[in-house]
Amino acid sequence: MDLDDAYYDLLGTLVAADEAAGRAQTFVITWSGPNDPAFVGVSGVADDAPVPTDVQVDNMAEFGWVRVTHADGKVRHFALRAEGQRAWRRRVAEISRVPVPVNLDWTVARPLLKQIFEAYSGAGAPDMGVDMLPQLEDPDHGRATRALLFELARAGYLDVTWESADGPRMVRPGIPALRMFAGWPISAAQDVLDELTAALDTEIERTSDSDKRSKLIAVRDGLLGAARDIAIAWAERKIGAA
């Protein structure tokens, strides 16, 4: 069912009323006329606040925002659900967000992904993964981290185990990340690197030039050692751009 601003206005009224009352309330609407729904016995509602009709309450229940506890004709008793609170926070965040450019380059995303992998494995691979809240709350880099988490999850590099109103918060490495950092088979970049090292082995065996042979061995050993991550990252970018 499509949402429009009217439903969010109603949701905002309910959230504001509960906040003003300092507790979760049971909202009651009745009718003083054929077109005049009104709240009954509800705290914290402004005089000019919109009042939902019975149809709108039923629709909000379908959205998962409220729980209807009593229905009698057009009379409705209902209460906010946690999903309603989350939907309102998402709406507020969406409206208040000021567009700021973020760097989504792989050279920035990959170190974040590796950091998450190392934190996850270092903590014993907990089921819920890594809590990213400290980085998300960083005043300088939090917005960029949030954007990267969204994109890494969308690409399958991260599994989101818990999502707050602002987006992914608890995450763990997905299979592509395990392939990159733990040597799991099989990725296209890994295949490229394996083929390259195999070609170097072949060339090393063939050449009789000791100077050339030494250089090829150095290159091959580098690809199998400290330069491996760099080579894989390079192959990933090229494959991704193909």
pLDDT one-digit tens code per residue, 37-76: 999 988 888 888 899 999 999 999 999 999 999 999 999 9
Q: Is this structure's pTM higher than 0.75?
A: no
Tokens standing for residue 190: 């890994």
Q: Provide the edge-to-edge strand list for the sheet that holds 130-131.
A: 130-131, 167-173, 158-164
CA distances, 47 to each of 38, 44, 151, 191 (Å): 11, 9, 43, 67
Residue 66: φ, ψ to 5°: -130, 165
For residue range 82-103, what is the model confidence (pLDDT) as tens digits? 999 988 888 887 777 666 788 8
Average predicted confidence (pLDDT) for the chain: 86
Measure the CA–CA gap between 116 and 113, rounded to whole angstroms: 5
Dihedral sign computed on CA atoms, order 99, 103, 106, 111? negative
